[in-house]
Chain A
Amino acid sequence: MPPMSMRAITDKLSLRLENKGSVARDHLANERTYLAWIRTSLSLVTVGVAIRQLYRVSIDLGGGSGAGAAGGSEAQEPLAGRVLGFSFVALGVVFVAVGLYRYFRSQRLMTRGEFPVSRAMVGACAAAILALLVGLLVSMLADQQ
């Protein structure tokens, strides 16, 4: 049990601040923002898992009608679902990292009376989600033909 190193980690991660004005409320709001990032990433991960399942269902349904081409389609079909599902879960990991980074950056800056306005980061996250959704759309359109 190393108490000194634990204390050092605590001081680095959890700040002890004088509770006056809106200090506690501001930091609680920061924690809620972090939890909102977590919830977004959980939605992405759930969508990734659901994509895997839904692509399997479509394979099962398609396998009954075209039994002759089952060998070819089974090798080909799961790849789109596999890649998309993997990408959604990976983006979920990225969102947790972004939320974590933003939480600690805001925590540090708020003690100096500053606040980081997120612009580039949110834009990049939106672009990443948009890219995945476009990929999903393209994959669905390709399945129709």
Chain B
Amino acid sequence: MDAPAIELPAKAAQTDRGDSSSRCSSTAPEQPSDECDAGQDGGEEPQTWTAAELLEIRARERTFDGAYWRTSVGLFGASLVVLRVFGLEFFPVGLVFLALGLGFMGIGLARRLRLISRDQHAHSPVFVTSGGTVAVSAAMCIAAYSALLVLLLRI
């Protein structure tokens, strides 16, 4: 269920930026425009960053290396405590936390790949907001909490 919804914004960006993809069709055909900048800047000469680019990069790193990573690390910690410290009947509860943490890590890494690795200097003319992945992560959370409620009622 996760995979197609994560792909959605990428597909939308592809179809809409078909005109710009003709300039850099020599790189990867499935990621048309975002790979342009990364391909040119990936040479051996040191990269120079303007202040505006650094501002954008820092905002992306705060989101993906900061917020998403912090969320999944917190979940891993919670699952560790539940698995190791709590009683044996709480074992499935710890597994639910672990799965949720892995899900948030996956979503964060997928969006990081798209917004930092492929668009290193943040020059992409179109910004796709994260509504799709936010909805997926919220559905993931609600599903996990429902499982927790059922588990807690049965304990």
Instruction: For A76, list chain B residues within 8 Å (CB).
Output: none
Q: Tell me the chain A residues, 71-111 only, with Cβ under 8 Å from chain B.
A: 85-86, 89-90, 92-93, 96-97, 99-100, 103-104, 107
Given A31-B63, A53-B90, does the pair A19, B127 have CB atoms closer than 8 Å?
A: yes
Given A24-B122, A49-B82, A93-B145, does the pair A39, B11 have CB atoms closer than 8 Å?
A: no
Instruction: For A129, list chain B residues within 8 Å (CB).
Output: none
Instruction: For B132, list chain A residues within 8 Å (CB).
Output: 9-10, 13-14
A76 to chain B, nearest CB (A): 17
Contact: A100 with B138, CB < 8 Å? yes
Instruction: For A41, list chain B residues within 8 Å (CB).
Output: 141
Interface residue SS majority, chain A: helix
Instruction: For A39, list chain B residues within 8 Å (CB).
Output: 70-71, 74
The CA-CA distance from A133 to B71 in the complex, in Å, is 24
Q: Tell me the chain B residues, 47-93 only, with Cβ under 8 Å from chain A.
A: 55-56, 59-60, 62-63, 66-68, 70-71, 74-75, 78, 82, 86-87, 90, 93
Which among B93, B104, B126, B153 is the interface contact of A16 at CB below 8 angstroms? B126
The CA-CA distance from A85 to B74 in the complex, in Å, is 20
Contact: A28 with B60, CB < 8 Å? yes
Instruction: For B113, list chain A residues within 8 Å (CB).
Output: none
Instruction: For B135, list chain A residues within 8 Å (CB).
Output: 13, 100
Contact: B149 with A89, CB < 8 Å? yes
Q: Tell me the chain A residues, 1-29 only, with Cβ under 8 Å from chain B.
A: 6-7, 9-19, 23-25, 27-29
The CA-CA distance from A10 to B155 in the complex, in Å, is 40
Instruction: For A35, list chain B residues within 8 Å (CB).
Output: 63, 67-68, 70-71
B105 to chain A, nearest CB (A): 13
Contact: A27 with B126, CB < 8 Å? no
7 pairs from A and B in contact (CB 8 Å cutoff): A7-B11, A7-B12, A19-B125, A38-B71, A39-B74, A49-B152, A53-B87
